[in-house]
Structure 1
Amino acid sequence: MAINPIQMQKGLSLTDFLKQYSTQAQCEAALFQARWPQGFRCPVCQHAVATEFLRSKTRLWCCRACKHQTTLTAGTMMHQSQLLLSKWFLAIYLVTQSKTNIAALALRRQLGISWKAAWLLKHKLMDAMRQRESGQPLSGDIRVDDAYLGGEYPGGKSGRGSENKTAFVAAVEMRNGQPNRVRFDPVDGFSFAALMPWASSALRAGSVITSDGLSGFRVVQQLGFQHRVVIAPKGKAGTEIDAFKWLNVLIGNLKTTLSGTHHAFKFSKYAARYLAEVQYRFNRRADLCALIPRLLKAVMQAKPCPRGVFQALIEQET
């Protein structure tokens, strides 16, 4: 069997990572580059000149035009975080360089922090990925299918009606017979009304959409897309036909990754984040070393989730 060059990447070793990001100064320099690659810009007025100073060991920039003061992390996903930058960077390294996902419990042990802090950190990183991916529609030759996360509760409803199942659309952008990019988007169901918002945001105009016979996917025709329907045979043979072979492989890998790492989570609440993490990593799989600066940029550009919202979620988990 031929070696897959993407799977066999060396990535960034822990030794090389520590050489680049082990000190506070190195972390601050990397964050500055991620947030202001063209130099400082005031978040209020976009002025380019500021006075830099320290206050209680915190580095601040005071805009010379509007006098607004800001820090490296203010207004980002790191906003008001009490964790050391080195902890953030190590978490980003572990999340991006591991072959499979990493759970909050593993982050807790690796970083030497509380479970609550690790859970919060993990969800902040996943939400930054979700925000980054939300504005990246697929284009060209796109194969789509309906899928579900979760299993049946003992004594509960069976099949697709189970209270523990969360519906999502799996879509893959094909290029030269190989999967190029994917999207895994939670939806309220597979009716026209539920799929209309998904199709409007996840698919770029001019694309050709291939689906099975699910009637809800005909919504793409109403939006002006070319739509090809392929009726797959039942059983295993249906997963191996050319139209959906790669899509079924990706859905299988997704479910194996999530179940093997997390075992279970509250699908209805957190599906968007967990799906976005798998999607984000797959769509940037060709260069593992670049994943660290790219995720740093996503964290710097993501809108912070209100602290009270995350705190309430943590309390519900404990």
Structure 2
Amino acid sequence: MAQHFLLSAQARTLSLKTVFKMGEDAAYEAFRQMRWPETEGEAVCPQCGCPDTYNITSRRRFKCVACYHQFSVTSGTIFASRKLPFTDLLAAIVIFVNGAKGVSALQVSRDLDVQYKTAFVLSHKLREAMALEDAGQRLSGTVEVDGAYFGGYVKPANRKADRVDRRTLLAQNGKRQSVIVIRQRGGDMLTFVGKGEAAGVAHVAAVVEPGTVVHADEASHWDALHARYETFRINHSEAYALDGACTNQAESFFSRLRRSEIGVHHHVAGPYLNAYAGEMAWREDNRRQPNGTQAAMVTRAAMVSLVSRKWAGYWQRAA
């Protein structure tokens, strides 16, 4: 029987022990290499693009020769105004990518000995950086589409006589949302959060190329796809796969997201549902990458991301 990739030595190329042994100077150099790979870590002014800078070594800052702008290795990135040392930032990224089903902010706060809010904001900044991988992406070939509902749990009444059918519209609390996934076979996937699964029809038309073969279930709102794509449908009450039609790869994404919700975060609904869905899509897309490669991908994405406008004012309750 073949060994699962996550159990192999190839999956473990970076550890927390390695990060903390490398020290602050080596971690700082790693961030420099990720920020400016084209110049092998030599600083480039983010304001005017001039490559001629000199170091202010006492503060780990740089000054541009052309415009005299002072900046650091994290200036203008998603880590701008960071207070954590570079070793802790790198360790946080390693902890984050090592969780196959995600990592809770509480665990990150305990592992790094930081406040919960610090770990919460940092984790969401990493999710925001991850989302850059799918920005503007379009899918083709053969794709599978499906949706699942999250959030909006309605607690049943204590007495059986007072309980109502919670499936009816009147019994809902309006907080339930649908995650729609569009997964290309042999490729990446895109996620979208809407009020209902039917909202995914327009999203499929926006991100899926003409001529693509689409697989969907028997939900009536997917009928509109037949006018635009060659579409196969599968009735899950009869079989998981039948006559060449199936959405098993889309279902595997929801399995990961459900396990993340139940076993790690316990609550992924509300305004952050889209971020958690995007994170699980990234993990599913890169599940066969070693953890060192995953950490490098996230670090690089964070260093090319602009300052987060959503999380920049969290401490001032702007988010």
TM range, smaller chain: 0.7 to 0.9
1:283 to partner: Cα distance: 1.3
Give, in whole Å, the separation in 1 of the partners of 2:46 and 2:193: 32
Residue 222 (structure 2) pairs with residue 208 (structure 1): no
- Contact 1:187/1:198 (<8 A) preserved: no
Q: Please, what TM-score do these two structures have when normalized by structure 2? A: 0.83
CA displacement 1:3-45 (0-9 Å, x = unmatched): 23355343123333444xx322212211111111112332222
Distance 1:149 1:76, change over 3 A: same
Distance 1:70 1:195, change over 3 A: farther
- Contact 1:140/1:174 (<8 A) preserved: yes
Distance 1:196 1:157, change over 3 A: farther
Give, in whole Å, the separation in 1 of the partners of 2:136 and 2:27: 27
CA displacement 1:88-134 (0-9 Å, x = unmatched): 11110011123331101101110011111111111111121123333
Structure 1 gap ranges (5+)? none
What percent identity do the matched residue pairs reach? 23
Match of 2:261 in 1: 258
Distance 1:260 1:205, change over 3 A: same
Moved more, 5-14 or 109-118: 5-14
Give, in whole Å, the separation in 1 of the partners of 2:239 and 2:84: 49
Give, in whole Å, the separation in 2 of the partners of 1:96 and 1:256: 16
Match of 1:196 in 2: 202
Say which SS state the counterpart of residue 293 (structure 1) adopts: helix
Q: Give the counterpart letter for 1:181 in structure 2.
A: D
1:68 to partner: Cα distance: 2.3
Match of 2:159 in 1: none
1:67 to partner: Cα distance: 2.4
Give, in whole Å, the separation in 2 of the partners of 1:99 and 1:308: 28
Moved more, 132-141 or 74-83: 132-141
Q: Which one of 262, 274, 277 corresponds to residue 275 of structure 1?
A: 277
Give, in whole Å, the separation in 2 of the partners of 1:98 and 1:51: 39
1:80 to partner: Cα distance: 0.6
Match of 1:181 in 2: 188
Q: Give the counterpart letter for 1:310 in structure 2.
A: Y
- Contact 2:109/2:116 (<8 A) preserved: yes
1:58 to partner: Cα distance: 2.5
Match of 2:55 in 1: 52
Match of 2:180 in 1: 169
Match of 2:120 in 1: 119
- Contact 1:77/1:305 (<8 A) preserved: yes
- Contact 1:130/1:272 (<8 A) preserved: no
- Contact 2:240/2:246 (<8 A) preserved: no
Distance 1:41 1:117, change over 3 A: same
- Contact 2:11/2:289 (<8 A) preserved: no
Distance 1:303 1:7, change over 3 A: farther
Moved more, 272-281 or 239-248: 239-248
- Contact 1:187/1:195 (<8 A) preserved: no
Residue 153 (structure 2) pairs with residue 145 (structure 1): no
Match of 2:161 in 1: none
Say which SS state the counterpart of residue 60 (structure 2) adopts: strand
- Contact 1:128/1:298 (<8 A) preserved: yes
Match of 1:101 in 2: 102
Q: Give the counterpart letter for 1:130 in structure 2.
A: A
How many equivalent pairs are there?
A: 300
Residue 66 (structure 2) pairs with residue 65 (structure 1): yes
Give, in whole Å, the separation in 2 of the partners of 1:276 and 1:116: 21
Say which SS state the counterpart of residue 184 (structure 1) adopts: strand
Q: Give the counterpart letter for 1:98 in structure 2.
A: G
Match of 2:231 in 1: 228
Instruction: Please show how residues 235-250 of structure 1 align to structure 2 within 5 Å.
Output: 237-241=238-242, 243-250=246-253
Distance 1:29 1:220, change over 3 A: farther
Q: Please, what TM-score do these two structures have when normalized by structure 1? A: 0.83
- Contact 2:183/2:250 (<8 A) preserved: yes
Distance 1:313 1:157, change over 3 A: farther
Q: Give the counterpart letter for 1:172 in structure 2.
A: R
CA displacement 1:119-166 (0-9 Å, x = unmatched): 111111112112333333333210101211125212698348542321
1:65 to partner: Cα distance: 2.3
Give, in whole Å, the separation in 2 of the partners of 1:191 and 1:247: 16
Residue 312 (structure 2) pairs with residue 311 (structure 1): no
Q: Give the counterpart letter for 1:278 in structure 2.
A: M
Say which SS state the counterpart of residue 230 (structure 1) adopts: strand
Q: Give the counterpart letter for 2:275 in structure 1.
A: R
